Amino acid sequence: MTSDALEKVGFLGFDVFGTVVDWRSSVARQAEPFLKRHGIDVDPHRFADEWRALYQPAMEAVRAGKRPWVKLNILNRENLEAVLARHGADVRQLPETDLADLNRAWQRLDPWPDSVAGLTRLKRRFPIGPISNGSIAGMMNLARFGGLPWDVILGAEIARSYKPQPQTYLRSAEAVGLPPERVAMVAAHNADLVAARALGLRTIFVRRPREHGPGQTTDLEPASDWDVVAQSLTEVADALGCP
């Protein structure tokens, strides 16, 4: 179901990690040979979960002003080393080429099965792009890896802030020349949409009930009356009348 308010939307901004791409399975797949090669005894999916669990705390240090702005790939690398050390690895003894390559796993994430088709249809009617916490280079490489047809890359790096800080959304809207009410945020995470709506953006919730694996307990249902609620990006395209 859709809202008349979306008729004036001129840009669709997307959360990427979890909404457009399946980070958990993708990171686990790429971590598995690394862990085996270096004798690190941890299940690859657990490893992916632990790495991801440090994502928000690392960004919060930047949001709270406890450290200067740094790009997400730097935070990911620090978090990677922390998780490896937790499982007994001496990071100083691991080859830098292996560590750097594993850190780039976040640029090689598989799209959900509906993502490319849904984005392609949505792009026929709307300009589209990420409003993501990822860096511009990371989003560019991820788009090339997964065939994501973005028109532009927005989000954290252009704002030098991480969601849900207001400037991440507002400076993204400003960059495409639109007021917030003419931008719709598309996300699988209710908190992302709460922050976007508070600033006047329109909201589209996409269910991703397996983002965190079969035991997921968060974001299974919409937490509010978002403008669109859908099961997939192709369903979003249906709701917005995209051929």
CATH number, domain of 97, equals: 1.10.150.240
- DSSP assignment of 213-238 equals -TT--SSSS-SS--SEEESSHHHHHH
DSSP E strands in 97-172: the ranges are: 110-111, 128-132, 154-155
pLDDT in tens, the chain (243 residues): 455 668 899 999 999 999 999 999 999 999 999 999 999 999 999 999 999 999 999 999 999 999 999 999 999 999 999 999 999 999 999 999 999 999 999 999 999 999 999 999 999 999 999 999 999 999 999 999 999 999 999 999 999 999 999 999 999 999 999 999 999 999 999 999 999 999 999 999 999 999 999 999 999 999 999 999 999 999 999 999 999
- Same domain for 146 and 94? no
Distance from the first to the final alpha carbon of the chain: 17
Among the listed residues 82, 80, 78, 134, the one whose alpha carbon sits nearest the alpha carbon of residue 108: 134
Domain total of the chain: 2
Structure tokens at 117: 């088709």
Tokens coding 22 = 């399946």
- Is 16 within 8 Å of 115 (Cβ atoms)? no
Identify the domain containing residue 182 by its residue range.
4-20+112-239
43 and 129 together in one domain: no
CB 200 within 8 A of CB 192: no
Same domain, 81 and 172: no
Tokens 């971590």 identify what position? Answer: 31
Contact 227, 195 (CB under 8 A): no
Residues 80, 60 share a domain: yes
Residue 232 CA to residue 118 CA, distance in Å, equals 8
d(CA 47, CA 63): 25
